[in-house]
């Protein structure tokens, strides 16, 4: 069933919201009176298409449709989710809600991207206050999973739960804020760091670039995967958080910071900050900076994903929700045909200096396909834990065509031999109907205790025999058994 979301305001945040919903299979309607709205939305969507699918190790749902609407009433008609991302002026937001509620379904969720206003302020003039909640994301919305969900007593728990379920379904992490407070949770930390940074610049202690260096080369990397308290727990050593507090707690009374005092943003200070920022980053366009940001975020997030830690754990959970690849033989639609073992986008960090997928990543994709085939025939985590597995003894890859970041690849696997200790598989990699590469792999079943060849257990031998017998009626794949070079 098609799901529809409406977005009121298509700037940096609203456009990011729309891109995430679109790429997670929702139909999107966008209202923004800006005459440049279509161009700006197109550029945000292009960045999202290039980066978001590569965070996933499985294929995302088919992209939804995008409609630019001339009125708010057209945008919200029949929408399940409505996201308001208009400028941070309370009167404007309240006026927008009045219009929205005249035309939207009463069951629809109206979320606000506000970074500072409390939900009670947003609800104060609404005809249906129970419909409005804060859903505050972080830029770029299509990559960063955090969204702060804040309600009031006017919001029934069922609506807040439904909002969290929808946000989770599009790969986000809904952080339910326990009580409303100005600027919610995360922006209060950002404000504290921002205040101190302004003083450091004003007092001539550091430049904008030096402050950024202190964050991105130091504690920012720790925060990205452990946050604040888990980082400090580690810093406390074996004695943990209690030792850390006793060791460093007294420093809180020392005059290290000026967090409760704000420098006046005079024209002189503003010029100083702007000039330093121009010197630091002025050589790049905004689109170049966005692409660099997205490249770096994808690399960090995929690194966390490999460890199943921090934001990476959210991405792995989303893969399991959206994956349409079989995990058992019973889930394979037609065992008489090559089995789909991979369907995913090419990540940004899989490409090389030629702008296409690096040759090593072809091997990774085929290795992942082999792993999925092993899982399908019963060589799963429990089987491996009990001492049985397959080792690859020979591989032959043919690189037939190139593929670029963001494009979807599919791998189909044919079992040529599946008897005794041997597993001989042939993978074909496709982009649509275009054959990109083939990978031929010979594997031998081993005992992990002796590290020597052994017969597979019946829970693997049975399904593998079934697939091999079914695939024996298929013609031998073109290229199977060939050697390197032209004969």
CATH of the domain at 345: 3.10.129.10
The answer to whether position 483 is within a domain reads no
Supply the pLDDT for residue 262.
Answer: 76
457 and 336: one domain? yes
Residues 90 and 122 placed together within one structural domain of the fold = yes
Q: How many domains does the chain have?
A: 3
DSSP-derived 3-state class of residue 447: strand
Q: Is 481 annotated as a binding residue?
A: no
Q: How far is CA 464 from each of CA 185, 371, 387, 411, 426, rounded to the nearest angstrom?
A: 52, 14, 18, 18, 14
Residue-range definition of the domain harbouring residue 84: 4-176
CA distance to 31, 91, 146, 188, per residue, from 7 (Å) = 6, 19, 18, 26
Residues 200 and 172 in one domain: no
Whether 477 maps to a domain, the answer reads no
Instruction: List pLDDT tens digits, range 440-480.
Output: 999 999 999 999 999 999 999 999 999 999 999 999 999 99
240 is in an annotated binding site: no
Q: Identify the pLDDT of residue 286.
A: 85
Residue 437, in any domain of the structure: yes
For residues 214-230, one letter each, b for 16 or more C-beta atoms within 10 angstroms of the residue's C-beta and e for the rest, the string is eeeeeeeeeebbeeeee
pLDDT at 456: 97
Q: Are 391 and 422 in contact (CB under 8 A)?
A: no
In a shared domain, residues 160 and 29: yes
Any domain includes 138: yes
Same structural domain for residues 272 and 161?
Answer: no
Report residues of the chain scoring pLDDT below 50: none
- pLDDT 10s digits, 216-258: 999 998 888 888 888 888 888 888 888 788 887 777 777 777 7
Three-state SS at 350: helix
Tell me which residue of 482, 388, 360 sits closest to 426, measured CA to CA.
482
pTM: 0.85
Q: Which pLDDT score is estimated for 237?
A: 85
| 25 labelled binding-site residue | no
15 assigned ligand-binding residue: no
Same structural domain for residues 57 and 126? yes
> What would the two tokens of residue 255 be?
């005059």
Residue 258 pLDDT: 73
The reply to whether 90 and 165 lie within a common domain is: yes
């Amino acid at each position: 069933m098609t799901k529809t979301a409406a977005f009121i305001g298509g700037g940096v945040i609203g456009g990011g919201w729309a891109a995430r919903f679109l790429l997670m299979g929702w139909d999107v309607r966008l209202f923004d009176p800006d005459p440049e709205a279509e161009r700006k939305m197109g550029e945000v969507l292009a960045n999202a298409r290039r980066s978001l699918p590569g965070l996933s190790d499985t294929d995302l749902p088919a992209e939804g449709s995008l409609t630019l609407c001339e009125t708010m009433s057209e945008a919200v008609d029949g929408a399940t989710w409505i996201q308001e991302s208009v400028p941070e002026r309370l009167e404007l937001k309240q006026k927008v809600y009045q219009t929205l509620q005249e035309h939207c379904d009463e069951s629809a969720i109206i979320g606000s991207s506000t970074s500072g206003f409390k939900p009670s302020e947003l609800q104060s003039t609404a005809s249906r206050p129970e419909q409005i909640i804060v859903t505050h994301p972080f830029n770029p919305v299509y990559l960063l999973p955090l969204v702060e969900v804040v309600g009031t007593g006017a919001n029934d728990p069922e609506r807040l739960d439904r909002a969290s379920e929808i946000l989770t379904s599009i790969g986000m992490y809904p952080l339910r804020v326990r009580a409303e407070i100005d600027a919610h949770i995360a922006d209060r930390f950002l404000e504290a760091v921002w205040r101190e940074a302004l003083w450091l610049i004003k007092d001539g202690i550091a430049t904008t670039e030096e402050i950024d260096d202190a964050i991105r080369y130091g504690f920012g990397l720790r925060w990205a995967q452990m946050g604040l308290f888990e980082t400090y727990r580690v810093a406390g050593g074996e004695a943990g958080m209690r030792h850390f507090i006793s060791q460093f707690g007294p420093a809180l009374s020392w005059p290290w910071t000026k967090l409760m005092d704000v420098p006046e943003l005079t024209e002189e200070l503003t010029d100083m900050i702007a000039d330093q920022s121009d010197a630091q980053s002025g050589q790049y366009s905004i689109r170049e900076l966005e692409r660099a940001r997205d490249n770096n975020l994808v690399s960090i997030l995929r690194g966390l994903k490999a460890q199943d830690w921090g934001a990476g754990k959210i991405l792995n959970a989303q893969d399991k929700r959206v994956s349409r690849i079989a995990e058992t033989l019973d889930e394979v639609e037609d065992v008489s045909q090559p089995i789909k073992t991979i369907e995913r986008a090419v990540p940004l960090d899989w490409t090389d200096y030629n702008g296409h997928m690096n040759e090593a990543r072809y091997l990774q994709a085929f290795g992942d396909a082999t792993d999925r085939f092993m899982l399908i025939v019963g060589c799963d985590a429990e089987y491996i834990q009990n001492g049985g597995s397959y080792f690859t003894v020979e591989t032959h890859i043919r690189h037939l065509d190139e593929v670029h970041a963001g494009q979807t690849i599919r791998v189909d696997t044919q079992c040529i031999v599946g008897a005794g200790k041997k597993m001989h598989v042939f993978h074909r990699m496709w982009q649509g109907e275009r054959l990109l590469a083939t990978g031929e792999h010979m594997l031998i079943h081993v005992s992990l205790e002796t590290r020597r060849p052994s017969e597979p257990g019946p829970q693997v031998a049975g399904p593998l025999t079934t697939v091999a017998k079914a695939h024996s009626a298929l013609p031998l794949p073109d290229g199977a058994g060939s050697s390197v070079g032209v004969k």
